[in-house]
Amino acid sequence: MNKKIISYAVIFVLMLAGVSFAQSVWWKLPPLPPPEIYGNIVIDRASTQGGVKPATFSHWSHRVKYTCRVCHYEIEFNMMINTTMITEEANVHGRYCGECHDGKTAFGHTKENCDKCHNGDIAYGTKKFVELSYLPSLPNGNKVDWVKAIDEGLITPRNYLRDDAKPIEFERIIEIESPWAGISPVIFKHAVHGKWLDCSNCHPEIFSVEAEATEELAMEYILKYEFCGVCHGRVAFPPKDNCKKCHPQMKHPGKDMQQAH
Ligand code: HEC
Ligand code: HEC
Ligand code: HEC
Ligand code: HEC
Ligand code: HEC
Ligand code: HEC
């Protein structure tokens, strides 16, 4: 065999590897809750222990009014359920939920309101979900195209609670090449994310501050809620039926892979 044939053979084997890998990825797409529950959580780090029902929280109902930055940067809620030290004491003193739930901006921490949060019901407040039906749609997740909703001025969530600063503008677009043959590159836009998030929500814990330097960045982990999947799968739109959002040149996402199986 001459060198040329060997290199073609190598490319062919790599392509097969790419396809079978993609298949296994396709079949591991995690199940999704209905749109009105997507991003809803029931927090129980300390509630049950403290003799009250777990606290319900809905991302869609809050993100209409506040960017992620307000809660996950200013107020310092972790992007991981049951890890923030939220207590009744802190809330009553204006920390955490109490930054807004003070009886002025939103209902306060008084006896008649305990159950509005401590009801253990992940579907609490979903009757109001129809109020979002005027927003542009996207498959799965909340079925809301949150990017268009902001760009078209249909919602104007606050950037900061405590001051009037403008978020840092950073427009760098990153093209992340796949090591797998036949998979189109991922296009990551800082500008889109900057409308919702602070730099520190992603750097340095989730992503390297250097293009193509994040190790093990792959679909398998994204579907396990790591890397892009920290948000895309739990609060921001999930991968299912949205492949082309991140892989804009992918030809027949999903379909090819289902047929190949
Ligand atoms: C705006 C929502 C909200 C309201 C209103 C609220 N809580 Fe909470 N509370 C929370 C959250 C969130 C936590 C943290 C839950 C966890 O980690 O389990 C919490 C935690 C607690 C805890 C467990 C931690 C601790 O401090 O011991 C108790 C007990 C508690 N709340 C009691 C109350 C009582 C009593 C009321 C009404 C007077 C009340 N809460 C009103 C959201 C709320
Ligand atoms: C009004 C406050 C608030 C806003 C706004 C908010 N979050 Fe959260 N988020 C929370 C709280 C509270 C938790 C739970 C923290 C805990 O239990 O330790 C949470 C948890 C999360 C989690 C983990 C969920 C899980 O199932 O483990 C992710 C991911 C997340 N947020 C992403 C976002 C993104 C992305 C945005 C913006 C689109 C956003 N959040 C906006 C308050 C908020
Ligand atoms: C950045 C401000 C802000 C923070 C932080 C915040 N909320 Fe709210 N929340 C609001 C506003 C505004 C409303 C709507 C006004 C109202 O109902 O009084 C609301 C409404 C709610 C509702 C009622 C939803 C409905 O459909 O009736 C619940 C439940 C709730 N919040 C729980 C929480 C819990 C639990 C936390 C903390 C983990 C929290 N919120 C943190 C601003 C906030
Ligand atoms: C939130 C963004 C995002 C979405 C949505 C998304 N991907 Fe990916 N995907 C990535 C990133 C980042 C990588 C890793 C970098 C690369 O390989 O280009 C990747 C890599 C891949 C790879 C290469 C193998 C691997 O695991 O790295 C395949 C195949 C793939 N994605 C298929 C899909 C399919 C099919 C869908 C839709 C069901 C999808 N992706 C949706 C971000 C996304
Ligand atoms: C939603 C997540 C996210 C947010 C928020 C974010 N970045 Fe990034 N950033 C990334 C990813 C992903 C990469 C590419 C990493 C890789 O390819 O390994 C990156 C890469 C970078 C790079 C390297 C660029 C290059 O060409 O080498 C810089 C610099 C950077 N980010 C700065 C910032 C700054 C400044 C902010 C806030 C204004 C910010 N980032 C906010 C996800 C984010
Ligand atoms: C910290 C949370 C977070 C992480 C991590 C994150 N994103 Fe996002 N992303 C968002 C939010 C919030 C939006 C707004 C849309 C939504 O919520 O559905 C968004 C929107 C997008 C969009 C839509 C752009 C448009 O023009 O409509 C793309 C594409 C995207 N993200 C790709 C990625 C890729 C690729 C990665 C990983 C390299 C990533 N994101 C990591 C939170 C995140």
State whether the beta carbon of 170 lies less than 6 angstroms from ligand 5: yes
Domain that holds residue 82: 40-132
CATH number of the domain where residue 227 is located: 3.90.10.10
Total domains in the fold of the chain: 2
- Lowest mean pLDDT of 22-31, 72-81, 83-92, 104-113, name the range: 22-31
Count of residues in the chain = 261
Q: How far apart are alpha carbons 136 and 146 in whole angstroms?
A: 8
Residue 74 has phi, psi (to 5 degrees) of -65, -55
SS3 71: helix
Domain end among 132, 149, 181? 132
Q: How far apart are alpha carbons 136 and 107 in whole angstroms?
A: 29
Is residue 146 one of the residues assigned to a domain? no
Domain end among 132, 153, 175? 132
Residue type for 257, please?
Answer: M
What residues does ligand 3 touch, defined as CB less than 6 Å away? Answer: 55-57, 61-62, 65-66, 70-71, 75, 96-97, 99-101, 105-107, 116-117, 124-125, 128, 161
Name the closest-CA residue to atom 28, ligand 2. Answer: 79
Closest atom of ligand 4 to 184 CA is 18
Residue 165 confidence class, pLDDT cut points 50, 70, 90: confident
Q: How far apart are alpha carbons 221 and 44 in whole angstroms?
A: 26
Is residue 152 one of the residues assigned to a domain? no
Asked if the model's pLDDT at residue 172 lies above 80, the reply is yes
DSSP 42: E
Residue type for 146, please?
Answer: W
Residues 11 and 52 in one domain: no
Q: What is the pLDDT of residues 4-38, one digit of tens each?
A: 555 555 455 545 444 444 555 555 789 999 999 99
Count CA atoms within 13 Å of residue 193 on its CB side: 20
